Structure formats: structure tokens, C-alpha cells
Structure 1
Amino acid sequence: TAWNTRQGQLQDGQRIAVKKLSRHSSQGPDEFKNELTLIANLQHRNLVRLLGSCIEGDERLLVLECMENRSLDAFIYDKTKSVLLNWQKRLDIIVGIARGLLYLHQDSNLRIIHRDLKPSNILLDKDMNPKISDFGIARIFESEVHENATTRPIGTLGYMAPEYLTSGIFSFKSDVFSFGVLVLEILSGKRNRVFNQADICLNLLGHVSTSVNAFLPSVFLNVASNSVFDFLMNT
């Protein structure tokens, strides 16, 4: 990983997280500056909050609010920890991520595309409230611009929109695609990767599509409560 993260405590007792950019990382000063600039200008309850930074010689540090429960991937893929996420909590996490994303796309002074939305970039505080983090490859869009293109798509396979992966075209819809993958992973507890079932090779998206078309949603839903359907009917 490009970052090494350690937790600490200030003299006043406030707990913090210190992210140190590896000196051997491919993420250069420009991407560090990009992340620092964006986080410093964003304030929302579903975005990680910057407390300070340090640039001295080869050292690149970000001081962030402490997220006691670390990242979402530590819960949704773990059979033991995932039982802590009942359907209400999963819904709260999904809604929180959506609110943070809406702020980035529409409600902040800057219109921002994250470009790397995934479970490991969703941090959870002590109350399991989600906060979007890691803005190293995020991009600012001017108000009249709706899409852009790059010759070198950057992101994480499995979460990148098809048009971005194949043609380098990215827009706010790219984040929406990543968010959709996130929702499916939160509901299923499975990674969006290729797996075999009944001699058919599908990733999570293909498996979900096949299951829904066959009216078998329970095939991919993670059993975190006795009845997801009762929950949905009463929400």
C-alpha cells in the first residue's frame, strides 16, 4: 500500500490517525497535494475530516480524525464481524455513503469525482457511521463539464465503470457505478470477483443479475437477520 497508517493521541486526549506516504510509493507529490487540497476544502459528516498535515523533506503526512472501526471491508467480508451489521445498520451505511457522494457531486463548492470508491476507502467511526476517504486520484469538474477522458485509467478493478476501464471516459456516473458495486457487496458480503457456479463463470454483478432474473434474490443476500423482506416492507 502507498500509505502507512498509525493511530495516536494528542495532548488534549483527542485520538487521531496519521497517514504517512511511503517514500517508495508510486503516488507522487502531485497526488499527495491533490488529496490534501481536496480534503482541506471539504466538510461533511460522511467525509473523513482533515486535522493537519506535514510536508518536510521526503516526509508526507496527513493527520485525520480517528476512525475507531477502521474500514468497511474489515466487516462485510468477515463472517464473524459481519453479524454486527444487521439490515438497519447496512442501510444506514449505504445511505451515509450516498449522502457523502451527493455532497461531492452536487452540494460542495467543488464538484468532485472520487474515482476510487470501494469498501477499503469507506471508514467507520465508533458509531459505525461511514466516511469516504482517500482522494488521491479524485478530480474536480468545472460546472459546465460533465465528463472527461484519460489515456491511463486509474482505480481498482471490479469498481471501475466499463466506459472508464475500456475508453478512459469518466464522469459522475463512474462513481455511481462504483457505489452500485459497493451496495451489492454490503448486501451480499461477497467481493465483486469472478467465481464459478454451475459451470458458469460470473463476477458478483453477473451473479446478481442472473439471480434477480430468476427471482432468487436470497441467493446473493447475506443472512444478517431472519427476514430481509420484513425489514424492507417496514422501512
Structure 2
Amino acid sequence: MTPDRKPLRHRRRLVAASIATLALGGTALADVPASAAAKPRGHDVSSHQRSVNWPRAKSKGAKFVYVKATESTSYRNPYFRQQYNGSRKAGLIRGAYHFALPHRSSGRTQAAYFVKHGGTWRRDGWTLPPAVDLENNPYGAKCYGLRRSTMVSWIKSFSNEVKRRTGRRPVIYTTTKWWNDCTGRSRVFSRSHALWLARWGRSSGTLPAGWRYYTFWQYANRGTFPGDQNLFNGAMSQLKRFARG
């Protein structure tokens, strides 16, 4: 996932990074990996997808979706209401995610902003726990210029505030490389936080330190559904139980 708004120089940087990934053998596949084809399929969206045709996504097999709500404490997805409420009305299990900028403000502050503007949770079987997007800094320094111990503390602060306000720990969206590099291979979160793994390709590959399995896998940035393509690591009945908490 990428921010909804960024200067041109950062868009160019992201394009260059994507080209480099492809050159190293990575890919953004449109097809569902054969080993996971029977698992519930879903997607994630942001303002890039604008107003989504949710009945169409549902008819094509989408079972769940994560919708971007906020970024840092200065941005709200202007399409959030249409995407979040529209997906539920169409019969999808849905949740909200926050694009973290750990160098801008504390984890607690960003968590409070996120929950206030869409990152809620209800024990209704239709609402996924809030998620936090932790990935490469699109605006500058690697790991947002933070020490590994500071990054771990930031994530703890964010998680604790989400838990206090919603009753659920946030799902952590990340890549194996970012996590291992920027948290120093921290294993603090793996027992209490579901992993949403970002790895485009036919295999989920090596997981971030501490986790033995992923809960969600973002396997491609394009495909059948609007936005990024995802799989849930279990049966539909398990997805519903996960939503209920």
C-alpha cells in the first residue's frame, strides 16, 4: 500500500523501487496463488480506488476488505464512508487501516486519531479489527529515521491505545524486510497481534521474525478486485470468528 498523497519526487521514487523489485524477481501477480486458491479472497482500498462498485466486487467473489481511514494525524480518506459502509451493505466483512508515519507524532496520538476517524471495532461479525500499515517511508529516511528500540516503542504505544479504545489489538501490516530491519527482528508482537503480510508473488515466503503464520496475505497489487489483492489464511467460518473476536 502507498500513501494517497505524495510529492512527485516520491511518486518517482516508488516507481523506481517497483521496477527494482521486478528486476530482483518480485512480481505483482493478478492470479490467486494456486496453494491458496480455496481460501477467502479479499482486497484493500484507499482513495486511489475512489467510489467502489461493491456489489460487483462481491459478485466476483470478494469476502472481505480493508479500507484506508487515516494517515498520520493530518489525512482522512475522503472516500472512506462510501468504501467502508458500501462494502458492508454489499455483504463484505470489512475493517479500517491506518498508514503510520512514526516520525510525525507518537503512536498513542496517531491511534487516537485513527479510532476517532474510522478505526473502530464492533463484535458484530462484520467488522475486522483495526490495522496499522507499517512499511517503507515514502517521504524520506529509512525506518523513518528512528532507532529500532524507538520503533518498537512506537508500535507498542499505538497498539495499547487501539486496544484501550476498541478492545482489540491492531492487525500489523508489514513486509518481512521492513519488520526485520526497522524493529531489529522484534518478537514482542507476534503472540498478540495478527500478521497481515505484504509480499507480491506466488509464495508468502519467509515471515517477519516471531510469526509462525500470517492471518492475511497481500499477494498482488492488482487483480480481480479493486485495489490490492488479499487472502485470509483459513476457512470462511474462521474469518467470521476472527471478526467477532
TM-score normalised to structure 2 length: 0.26
Q: RCO higher in 1 or 2 (8 Å CA, sep ≥ 6)?
A: 2
TM-score normalised to structure 1 length: 0.27
- Structure number with higher strand proportion: 1
